[in-house]
A and B are shown apart, each in its own frame.
Chain A
Amino acid sequence: MDGVLVIGYGNPGRRDDGLGQLVADEVERAAIPGVGVVTAYQLNVEHAADVAGRRTVVFADAAVAGRAPCFLRRLLPRPAGAFTTHTMRPEAVLALARDSFGWDGEAYLLGVRGYEFNEFGEWLSEQAEENLKVACALIVGALRRGGLGAAATDPPTDDSVSPCYGGGRCTTAST
């Protein structure tokens, strides 16, 4: 396994939901050696193949709630019992990569706080624009230093008390 992969996902046609892809675009522009970029409308099974072979994976998504301007959190694989191609969590992608391809790298979720998700349109809200700048500076800086771990918080240890799912905090748009 080698290198870093940044997967930026979300629907750029739904205002701030495009934040994840915009982060990925910025990382691509930074052209950091050893860092690859994938953009997607939504996560799906083929991203497990993208993850396989990468030492480090960063999922970038818009956050519908939680800390502004952004948060960076470690992720652990977590299989999805029920599979639907319309919603696939990054943890499920990691689990599929681990169980199908033997992936055992490290992963992070970069959530960028957005505010407008219900309109059709390819422009960000004013505050989301500001949050995007901070998130891009954070991720590009960390990738250049090779120090993602130092910038991230730990993953939740218990699904039932996960601050990222169900607790009303740190909830990304695609989960």
Chain B
Amino acid sequence: MVSEGRRLVIEPVTRVEGHGKVTILLDAENRVEQARLHIVEFRGFERFIRGRPYWEMPVAVQRLCGICPVSHHLCAAKAVDKIIGVDRLTPTAEKMRRLMHYGQIFQSHSLHFFHLASPDLLFGFDADPKTRNIVGIIEQHRELAVQAVMMRKFGQEVIRATAGKKIHGTGAIPGGINKNLSIAERDALLADTDQMLGWSRSAVKIAKDYTLEHLESISDFGSFESNHLSIVRDDGAMDLYDGGLRAVTPDGETIFDHVDNDDYLGYIAEGVRDWSYMKFPFIRSIGEENGWYRVGPLSRVNTCDFIDTPEGEAARKDFMSLTKGRPNHLTMAYHWARMIEVLHSIEKIIDLLHDPDLQGEDLVVTGERRDEGIGVIEAPRGTLFHHYRVGKDDLVTMCNLIVSTTSNNEPMNRAVRAVAERYISGKPEVTEPMLNAVEVAIRAYDPCLSCATHALGHMPLEVELIGPDGVVIDRGSKE
């Protein structure tokens, strides 16, 4: 009975972006009765944005997050393109935006893999927490720490060259872009691409080797069958910047395909639960109970028909061979899929840097004003939706954002419960490695809880044991 049990609280969850809390409710026999990932802050960005001029959106929404501002910048720009009646950008504008986006994917994935996730992968979930951190990585795998810094820096330089600044740039403007890429900027970036390509290949190998070497232990680690969602190009290729919505069942059967971004509300709905500020999106045709889905690298590799760069495609085929072409549902396989996207991104960056369209002068187009705009993009963490309605006075009257982490809300909660049941249920004592295992499952999704709730957070870990009367029995913390 709950009244005779106790509640474990992991707050905040560490090595994720933002501020979250996990509560695990145990019964009198220490069996897990309930496990939930909570979002503990709420900022209400969608309400804040109302009343602002629509042309401010690509810059203003970057305040959502210092980690993936480019994704919000570009997604808002795509929505505002629609508002000013632009359905097609000039080649220079679209390719500059794509270059910016692949730079963002590259740096975000690299940072997550090497600095947030690798301590768990290289040292083990149950390693001494004193060394299972970035300091331990520096001490024992210095070359990886350096790689991570330089890969992040390279991605940031791509962003700076295309957006004007590394953080909160202004490159994408309604109807296009405000600069092209100079020859000097291009050559400076090209000077590092061979190194980045080499490191990306190595990163794929690390993630693949980890997955295959630990296949038995991770096969049921927070894993479950699910639907998957992403955008794909018209020909079914992975496309992280633009495309129609595609959703597949756990078996890979199509639920819907090539859905126009403007029609997303006909296919996706958002459920609400009273214990979380984060919504629970689901596929309308299936319903809330079974229509939840996953997004992000794992889903994108699962949903696309192919990757249009040679090494990325070879890596995808390798990845899919593990499940004989069926969608891969291993939560820990997110890391491998994420590194495939790193490899794909650097290939796309190299292709774009060699494209003379980036030095074009035709940057902006105009159209006939509309009162609504919807933008969808594949952010590092998954499909991102920006939806605005605008009054005749050009002020935003409605804003709806579905961020990637929100789409992964139900899957993360399921992962938390699955891992809690495996590692904690029935055990006489709850240890730090057990709690870290729960965090590892969350971390695989690379959630940005700041985006999901629009709050910035500080993240020492606090664990509280709370008795049935609500009194804290014990409390521990780690930096």
Given A82-B460, A86-B17, the answer on whether A45 and B167 have CB atoms closer than 8 Å is no
In the bound assembly, the distance between CA atoms of A84 and B145 in angstroms comes to: 15
In the bound assembly, the distance between CA atoms of A87 and B67 in angstroms comes to: 11
In the bound assembly, the distance between CA atoms of A41 and B450 in angstroms comes to: 15
B15 at the interface (CB under 8 A from A): yes
Taking beta carbons and an 8 Å cutoff, which residues of B are in contact with A?
14-18, 48, 63, 66-67, 69, 111, 115-116, 130, 133-135, 138-139, 142, 145-146, 148-150, 152-153, 156, 165-168, 450, 456-461, 478-479
Cβ–Cβ contact A82 & B14, under 8 A: yes
Cβ–Cβ contact B478 & A82, under 8 A: yes
Cβ–Cβ contact B15 & A83, under 8 A: yes
Cβ–Cβ contact A46 & B18, under 8 A: no
Residue interface mask A27-43, B partner, CB < 8 A = 1: 00000000000011110
Cβ–Cβ contact B145 & A96, under 8 A: yes
Given A44-B152, A49-B153, the answer on whether A80 and B135 have CB atoms closer than 8 Å is yes
CB closest chain-B residue, reference A52? B149
For A84, list chain B residues within 8 Å (CB). 14-17, 458-459
For B150, list chain A residues within 8 Å (CB). 49
- The residue that B138 contacts in the complex, of A82, A87, A99, with Cβ under 8 A, is A99
In the bound assembly, the distance between CA atoms of A83 and B115 in angstroms comes to: 7
Given A45-B115, A46-B149, A46-B153, the answer on whether A40 and B167 have CB atoms closer than 8 Å is yes
Nearest 10 CB-CB pairings of A with B: A46-B153, A41-B167, A83-B134, A41-B66, A99-B138, A79-B135, A46-B152, A84-B459, A100-B146, A45-B149
User: Which of A39, A46, A48 has most chain B Cβ within 10 Å?
Assistant: A46
For B459, list chain A residues within 8 Å (CB). 82, 84, 86-87
Cβ–Cβ contact A85 & B111, under 8 A: yes
In the bound assembly, the distance between CA atoms of A11 and B65 in angstroms comes to: 11
Given A45-B152, A120-B63, the answer on whether A81 and B138 have CB atoms closer than 8 Å is no
In the bound assembly, the distance between CA atoms of A87 and B459 in angstroms comes to: 8
Cβ–Cβ contact A96 & B149, under 8 A: yes
In the bound assembly, the distance between CA atoms of A96 and B116 in angstroms comes to: 15
Q: What are some 12 contacts across the A-B interface (CB < 8 A)?
A: A40-B167, A45-B152, A46-B152, A46-B156, A49-B153, A81-B479, A82-B459, A82-B461, A86-B450, A86-B458, A99-B138, A100-B145
For A101, list chain B residues within 8 Å (CB). 146
For B457, list chain A residues within 8 Å (CB). 86
A69 at the interface (CB under 8 A from B): no
Chain A min CB distance to B191 (Å): 15
A13 at the interface (CB under 8 A from B): yes
Interface contacts beyond A50-B153, A83-B134, A84-B17: sample of 11 additional A-B pairs, CB < 8 Å, sorted by A: A13-B63, A45-B111, A45-B148, A45-B152, A80-B134, A81-B130, A81-B135, A81-B479, A86-B17, A86-B18, A86-B66
For B458, list chain A residues within 8 Å (CB). 84, 86-87
For A39, list chain B residues within 8 Å (CB). 165
Cβ–Cβ contact A100 & B133, under 8 A: no
For B479, list chain A residues within 8 Å (CB). 81-82
Cβ–Cβ contact B142 & A100, under 8 A: yes
Chain A min CB distance to B149 (Å): 5
- The residue that B115 contacts in the complex, of A13, A81, A85, with Cβ under 8 A, is A85
Chain B min CB distance to A50 (Å): 8
Cβ–Cβ contact B67 & A85, under 8 A: yes
Cβ–Cβ contact A82 & B133, under 8 A: yes
Chain B min CB distance to A169 (Å): 19
Chain A min CB distance to B413 (Å): 22
For A100, list chain B residues within 8 Å (CB). 138, 142, 145-146, 149
Cβ–Cβ contact B142 & A99, under 8 A: yes
Chain B min CB distance to A165 (Å): 12
Residue interface mask A78-109, B partner, CB < 8 A = 1: 01111111110000000010011100000000
In the bound assembly, the distance between CA atoms of A95 and B201 in angstroms comes to: 28
For A80, list chain B residues within 8 Å (CB). 134-135
In the bound assembly, the distance between CA atoms of A153 and B400 in angstroms comes to: 49
In the bound assembly, the distance between CA atoms of A41 and B62 in angstroms comes to: 11
In the bound assembly, the distance between CA atoms of A80 and B1 in angstroms comes to: 41
For A87, list chain B residues within 8 Å (CB). 458-459
- The residue that B133 contacts in the complex, of A11, A50, A83, A85, with Cβ under 8 A, is A83
For B134, list chain A residues within 8 Å (CB). 80-81, 83, 96
In the bound assembly, the distance between CA atoms of A59 and B15 in angstroms comes to: 24
Residue interface mask A46-79, B partner, CB < 8 A = 1: 1011100000000000000000000000000001
CB closest chain-B residue, reference A79? B135
For B138, list chain A residues within 8 Å (CB). 79, 96, 99-100
In the bound assembly, the distance between CA atoms of A11 and B461 in angstroms comes to: 25
Cβ–Cβ contact B116 & A85, under 8 A: yes
For B166, list chain A residues within 8 Å (CB). 40
Cβ–Cβ contact B67 & A86, under 8 A: yes
- The residue that B149 contacts in the complex, of A40, A49, A85, with Cβ under 8 A, is A49
